Amino acid sequence: MSSGEHSTSDIEKHPITSTSDIEIIPGTVQLIDITGGLHVKKNDLNDNVILLPQPSNNINDPLRWSRLKKHFQFFLVWIWCFMFAVTTNFYGPLFGIFMDELGVTLNELTISVALCFLFLGVGCLLIQPTALKLGKRFVYLSCTIIGIIGCALGSRANSIGSIYLFQAFGGFAAAPVDTLAEITATDIYFQHQRSTAFSLVILSLYAGSYLGPVAAGYVVDALGWRWCYYIQIIIYVALFIFLAFTMENTSFRRDHAAEEEFEEEVIKAVKSKELDVVTSILEVGAAGGDEDSDENSIDESIPKKAYKERMKLIQTDSNDVRSWFLIFSRPFLLYSFPAVVWGGLVYGAQMMWLSLIGNTQSIIYGEPPYNFSANGVGLTNLGAFGGSVIGMVCGGYVVDHSSIWLARRNNGILEPEFRLYSMIIPTITNAGGLLAYGLGSYYEAHWAISVVIGQGLLGVAMGASGAICLT
């Protein structure tokens, strides 16, 4: 049976209702073309997954990049995030050494960690509007330089003041990890791919946070603690040069109001079985039909950007037209949305557990009854790293595919709450991990209780819940 016959049959079986009577909840989208008769751009895997947002007719649209180019640009961001996660969390095994050699107290070191997170938060507020005005490439490169300065200050530390400066610079420079990286993922990936992309960003955060202390422990034992900073400087300089010649700006100006109207009209038409209306709407909105004829929808009058133009430090052709101060103020308005507050609290709680592990591991495992060396303390992070890899799969790949499966069972419509079902796993592992880590350490149980079970379960929770909250 052809798609046209199928559509006619559906219309005959279901009475046509007024689309104006159908209320569309924000976040609800038509993700699957159940009948296969919608003339929209779809996934090239022949599974009738509708591409959201629909790619524009501009050849420079990041959504039109080849799969290889998308993955390469995302890999650059992933490496960048991984390194700054290392910078902001590698120092756990060094706490005991700082206390002995620099004469600082544990309370002062804890304050330095708080200072890092404070400047990270301030950086999120300032960097996001800057990226939307001057381009994401500019921000990534600028923050790399700030990170180099911070590591240089840390390498010369001889008092708590120097450590404070390093933490302030490092925290501010790392701000794009928690804001810009996720926006970059939405620039180049479609909605049905974003949970996987977000989970990989979260994995870079936790991989750097857990593997950084592992490497730092070995560096301290072999070369001394100052080389932890020297090695980071070397890596950042090499990374800056590589990014300067390869990283592209992913910003692209889209008509979000038109996209929302387009999605709402599609859902209303499908729900009311007005498939003839759907066809007329989508033939105009898709600007070129399905994936097979996608090349014909490119506007030939728009030239492809040359390499030199793509490598400009500051790019404003696709910037946000609003003022910097207006963009800066917008996030504060989101506190009125319960979903945003809930997501922020859950994500913030995971950052709190991450800080908890980093601040306590040297005290717990470097003293009796464990008496681990610096590299031994660092190796305890492997438990959390292994858990975060599992959490990445649960919060990314599984969520994307379960959302598609649930959408198919819901006439192709994806509801935003479909992703919440996946929160069951991290909720359970979070509680179990905290109990195993805290009680295992308090009662001086075998180190595997707090490391493998405690940190492992916490890693699963942090890796999964972060990506779910972001989507």
Q: What is the pLDDT of residues 203-223, one digit of tens each?
A: 999 999 989 999 998 999 899
Comparing CA positions, the residue from 357, 331, 377, 348 lying closest to residue 437 is 357
Q: What are the two backbone dihedrals, phi and then psi, of residue 414, each rounded to the nearest 5 degrees? A: -95, 120
Residue 448 is predicted with a pLDDT of 96
Q: Which amino acid appears at position 9 of this protein?
A: S
Q: In whole angstroms, what is the distance from residue 368 CA to residue 389 CA?
A: 30
- What is the per-residue pLDDT across 72-85, written as a single tens digit (0 to 9) for each? 999 999 999 999 99
Integer CA distances (angstroms), 44 to 61, 74, 252, 294, 410, in order = 18, 20, 23, 11, 22
Residue 142 pLDDT exceeds 80: yes
Over residues 343-368, the mean pLDDT reads: 87
How confident is residue 19, by pLDDT bands cut at 50, 70 and 90?
very low
Over residues 186-203, the mean pLDDT reads: 91
Instruction: Check: pTM over 0.75? Answer yes or no.
Output: yes
- Across 25-29, 152-156, 225-229, least confident range: 25-29
Over residues 293-317, the mean pLDDT reads: 83
Q: In whole angstroms, what is the distance from residue 285 CA to residue 281 CA?
A: 6
Percent of the chain's residues with pLDDT above 70: 86
The pair of structure tokens assigned to 114 is 């708080």
Q: Does residue 412 or residue 34 have the better pLDDT?
A: 412
Residue 154 is predicted with a pLDDT of 96
- Across 70-79, 237-246, 337-346, least confident range: 337-346
Q: In whole angstroms, what is the distance from residue 115 CA to residue 167 CA?
A: 6
Q: Does residue 1 or residue 222 have the better pLDDT?
A: 222
Q: In whole angstroms, what is the distance from residue 460 CA to residue 452 CA?
A: 11
Residue 273 is predicted with a pLDDT of 58
pLDDT winner (highest mean) among 2-11, 223-232, 372-381, 402-411: 223-232
DSSP codes, 272-328: TT-HHHHHHHHHHHSSS-SGGGGGGGS-TTSPPPPHHHHT-SS--TT--SS-HHHHH
How confident is residue 25, by pLDDT bands cut at 50, 70 and 90?
low
